[in-house]
């Protein structure tokens, strides 16, 4: 019998606070990666302590609980990421994974102006069909969905961390039409930008 814990969180939750480069350090979290390693009893104890702190924070839901949870989560991931590096060296990426990471980096740099997969495929010297295929294989999403998710993530960050108006956020993200931005956001999140901001 195995005893353990499962920590569930979204990439958007983590990225709302930390810069986009950080998540690339945690390649072992990607849907196609399965990694196992042995922890010492001291390391297990520290991980369990962190998870207990996270559970208390989650249950009490005090002011700022989300930020505290995010910080605990970052520490836990850093500890586990260090184990991956120690046991296996830096996780070796195959050619497809390298292309995906390059694609994700390009999206982070260009998503406000460049929304079409063709731009990214051209920059990576591959066809749109191939880019779409490896995105589905490695991330279980189409390249178009990954681009749209990045736009929504930035909208969430701006709504959560700034006092900018919906109109200002829409223009900052490259939307010339504010109602279209609201429709776009609602289709992805199930609520309007204003509702999202009120619920945070």
Report whether 69 contacts 57 (CB < 8 A): yes
pLDDT of 98: 86
pLDDT in tens, the chain (200 residues): 778 888 888 777 777 665 555 555 565 565 455 556 678 889 889 999 999 999 999 998 788 888 899 889 888 888 877 766 555 544 556 788 889 989 998 998 999 999 999 999 999 999 999 999 999 998 889 999 999 999 998 999 899 888 999 999 999 999 989 999 999 999 999 999 999 998 87
pTM comes to 0.70
Burial 134-168 (b: 16+ CB within 10 A, else e): bbeebbeeebeebbbbbbbbbbbbbbeeeeeebee
Please give the Cα distance from 165 to 194 (Å, whole number). Answer: 9
Whose CA is closest to 154, among 138, 171, 142, 137? 171
Q: Write the DSSP symbol of residue 191.
A: S
Whose CA is closest to 134, among 97, 91, 93? 97
Token pair belonging to 107: 């999206």
Please give the Cα distance from 147 to 123 (Å, whole number). Answer: 15
pLDDT of 131: 96
Q: What is the signed CA dihedral for 11, 72, 55, 36, rounded to 10 degrees?
A: 70
pLDDT of 111: 94
Report whether 179 contacts 168 (CB < 8 A): no
Token pair belonging to 95: 């050619």
Burial classification of residue 178, based on how many CB atoms lie within 10 Å of its CB (0-12 exposed, 13-18 middle, 19 or more buried): middle
Please give the Cα distance from 90 to 86 (Å, whole number). Answer: 8
Secondary element (H or E) of residue 75: helix 65-88
CA atoms within 13 A on the CB side of 103: 33
Report whether 168 contacts 178 (CB < 8 A): no
DSSP tally for the chain: helices H, then strands E: 11, 0
């Amino acid at each position: 019998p195995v005893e353990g814990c499962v920590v569930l969180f979204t990439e958007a939750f983590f990225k709302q606070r930390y810069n986009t480069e950080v998540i690339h350090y945690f390649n072992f979290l990607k849907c196609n990666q399965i990694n196992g390693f042995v922890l010492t009893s001291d390391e297990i104890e520290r991980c369990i302590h962190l998870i207990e702190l996270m559970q208390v924070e989650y249950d009490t839901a005090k002011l700022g609980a989300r930020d505290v949870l995010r910080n605990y989560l970052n520490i836990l991931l850093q500890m586990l990421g260090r184990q991956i590096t120690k046991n296996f060296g830096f996780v070796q990426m195959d050619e497809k994974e390298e292309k995906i990471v390059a694609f994700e980096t390009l999206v982070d740099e260009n998503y406000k102006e460049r929304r079409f997969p063709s731009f990214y495929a051209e920059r990576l010297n591959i066809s749109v069909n191939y880019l779409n295929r490896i995105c589905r294989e490695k991330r279980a999403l189409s390249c178009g969905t990954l681009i749209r998710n990045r736009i929504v993530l930035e909208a969430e960050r701006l709504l959560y961390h700034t006092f900018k108006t919906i109109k200002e956020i829409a223009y900052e993200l490259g939307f010339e039409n504010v109602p279209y931005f609201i429709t776009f956001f609602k289709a992805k999140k199930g609520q309007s930008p204003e509702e999202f901001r009120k619920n945070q």
